[in-house]
Structure 1
Amino acid sequence: MQDPDVSGNPTHALCLAPLEDVQPATFGIPDGACDTHAHVVAADPSYPMVPERSYTPPPAPEEKYLAMLAATGMQRGVLVQISVYGDDNRYMLEVLKRHPRQLRGVGVVRADVSERQLRDMHDAGVRGLRLNVLFGGGTGFEAMEKLAPRIADMGWHMQFLMDIRHLPEMMPRMQKLPVPGVVDHMGHIPVSLGTAHPGFQALQHLVRDHGWWVKLSGAYRISQDFPQFRDVVPWAQALVATASERMLWGSDWPHVSVGRMPDTGVLRNQLALWAPDPATRARILVDNPARLYDFD
């Protein structure tokens, strides 16, 4: 199915919709657990998608998002501005404002964003900015050094959607940033490359020696073992062992731009394998996101 762009030409295939049901939890989910990575997509056409997007998601509105949080046992959530909206954060911000105690956000802006815009985003619950070099519509590395000093005093972080095969060449710049970094989806490279890969080693270095964070999310994006993702276990365990106090879990709902739709409950249940110790899981699900995203 094709979605026409503003000129009427077919451009982007419509993504699959997320599954309605989720597998029950295989472990006790602690109070205050947080899903640190999901997106909302309005059903209202007054929130237009950018022509340069890489995919077209179906609606994943506020009510479905909140239902997913409840179904997976998450009491808190972090919304990440989806690339198809570019730097038009309106819908995400509106959802955040309606749930100020439950939700936080990570926004997307351009390098010339105004101080007033940043302050308004902070007041709405945004606590970080995302740089995205994988999908059309995002802000890339060219804005990194311009934006980081502007968000440092607000206690924000910078989140990176990138392929960590490029991390060794980028590290000299990243290590100088005056804000913490967060890397999406465990580095977004195939786990078949192994933990000895220079990109993975660079990621561990940033986490261990520079206070960076990693989202234990997107297993289905880096695995060759759908739908159980057993090949991700050593990769995720190595990250947890590097610094469990800076690991975060995220569902990546509604799982855009994939050929097979994963079960969000199965994805959550991976954490029982990645962090078998209940205290470590509580750190990942509760304590770490509370600290990074400034939950009460």
Structure 2
Amino acid sequence: MSALIPTQHPGFRPPPGACDCHMHIYGPADVYPPAPNSPFPPVAGGDIAAYLKLREVLGLTRAVVVQPSVYGFDNRATLHAMAVLGEDARGVAVVPPDVSERELDWLTQQGVRGIRFFMIGGGLLGWDDLETLAAKTAAFGWHVQLQMDGRLLHEVEARLARLPGRLVIDHNGKFLEPVGLDHPGFVALRRLLDNGRTWVKTSGVYETSRIGTPDYPDVAALARALIAHAPERCVFATNWPHPSKPGNPPDDARLVDLFREWCGSDAVAGRIMVDNAAELYDFPSPI
């Protein structure tokens, strides 16, 4: 089996309606050509057929397909994956500043609920586009999904707090160097969560951990603190197929079990995986 698919199920079985709120899908290069000079090439084996196998192993029900940087403004691979997943899918797209209302309306009808800003290198949208596109897309119920170096969050906190609509911050704040709970950027992240319009993905601990497997304790401490501080503003995600770790992906089953440990109870884990995701991404409540 591919290294992208765990060989064992997680010990914790997610409840019905559990959502993977951040994953990517890649397709054939002749159908979905990579954008020139993208720092993140397509992940071999990261296609929708493989993700369906992963979802079965992990016991997940729903997914949010996030447009990968490698495709730029071409959202076709993301939209195709959403179509395959059907009613259990939502999407986060990347659109240009001059996107028309007609295009935004069409994307909304397809299930897109957010616009992605990737500020670490390789994203097509930058800080100069933030307010304009936040206002345009908020009119269609979209949120801003933001990935940046969390060590700088306190410098842009006021600006982010003024954005219309909701804000979703990736990967526990994505501190490119693990920080303590008293770091100004982490304190700013907790304040943003307190405004009631900001959410955080408790994901990607393996990306920035300096200690590493099996528990990633330096970054896991941030995830645990965020869940304790604002469980109603956290969501779960795999970040599959782990584009920052080509050829050496983490064990997704282990990451599910780690998430459950951070939550402290099945009830908190269920709330984050099911109820929070349903509210944020406009899914119906599971029966």
TM tier relative to shorter chain:
over 0.9
**Distance 1:192-1:151 versus aligned 2 partners, 3 A rule:** closer
Distance across 1 between alignment mates of 2:72 and 2:259: 31
Deviations 1:2-57 (A, max 9, x none): xxxxxxxxxxxxxxx85332442222311111110100000241211111211213
Q: Which moved more, 1:184-193 or 1:208-217?
A: 184-193
Structure 2 match to 1:48:
33
What is the deviation of 1:290? 0.5
Q: Given the alignment of the two structures, is residue 146 of structure 1 paired with residue 97 of structure 2, yes or no?
A: no
Distance across 2 between alignment mates of 1:185 and 1:277: 21
Structure 2 match to 1:276:
264
Structure 2 match to 1:252:
239
Letter matched to residue 256 of structure 1: P
Q: Which moved more, 1:145-154 or 1:179-188?
A: 145-154
Structure 2 match to 1:95:
81
Q: SS in structure 1 opposite 2:21? A: strand
Letter matched to residue 168 of structure 1: H
Unaligned runs of 5+ in 1: 1-16
TM-score, length of structure 2 as denominator length:
0.92
Unaligned runs of 5+ in 2: none
**Distance 1:161-1:243 versus aligned 2 partners, 3 A rule:** same
What is the deviation of 1:59? 4.2
Q: Which moved more, 1:224-233 or 1:260-269?
A: 224-233
Q: SS in structure 1 opposite 2:117? A: strand
Structure 1 match to 2:273:
285
Structure 2 match to 1:8:
none
Q: Given the alignment of the two structures, is residue 36 of structure 1 paired with residue 24 of structure 2, yes or no?
A: no
Distance across 2 between alignment mates of 1:105 and 1:72: 20
Q: Given the alignment of the two structures, is residue 111 of structure 1 paired with residue 105 of structure 2, yes or no?
A: no
1:188 to 150, 155, 174: 174
Distance across 2 between alignment mates of 1:18 and 1:201: 36
Deviations 1:80-119 (A, max 9, x none): 0000001100111122123331111100111111111111
Deviations 1:210-258 (A, max 9, x none): 5310001101012123221133332111101221011001000000122
Matches within 5 A, 1:101-250: 101-190=87-176, 192-228=178-214, 229-250=216-237
**Distance 1:22-1:170 versus aligned 2 partners, 3 A rule:** farther
Letter matched to residue 149 of structure 2: D
Contact 1:127–1:156 at 8 Å: present in 2 too? yes
Contact 1:18–1:254 at 8 Å: present in 2 too? no
User: What's the C-alpha RMSD, in Å, of the aligned pairs?
Assistant: 1.6
Distance across 1 between alignment mates of 2:56 and 2:218: 28
Q: How many residues align?
A: 280
Structure 1 match to 2:68:
82
Distance across 2 between alignment mates of 1:66 and 1:285: 18
Contact 2:8–2:57 at 8 Å: present in 1 too? no
Contact 1:107–1:129 at 8 Å: present in 2 too? yes
Contact 2:150–2:176 at 8 Å: present in 1 too? no
Contact 1:182–1:215 at 8 Å: present in 2 too? yes
Letter matched to residue 28 of structure 1: R
Contact 1:191–1:235 at 8 Å: present in 2 too? no
Percent sequence identity is 40
Letter matched to residue 60 of structure 2: M
Letter matched to residue 271 of structure 1: F
**Distance 1:99-1:192 versus aligned 2 partners, 3 A rule:** closer
Structure 2 match to 1:71:
57
Contact 1:23–1:264 at 8 Å: present in 2 too? no
Contact 2:72–2:123 at 8 Å: present in 1 too? yes
Letter matched to residue 235 of structure 1: L
Q: Which moved more, 1:207-216 or 1:91-100?
A: 91-100
Deviations 1:245-284 (A, max 9, x none): 1100100000012263211111111112110111110111
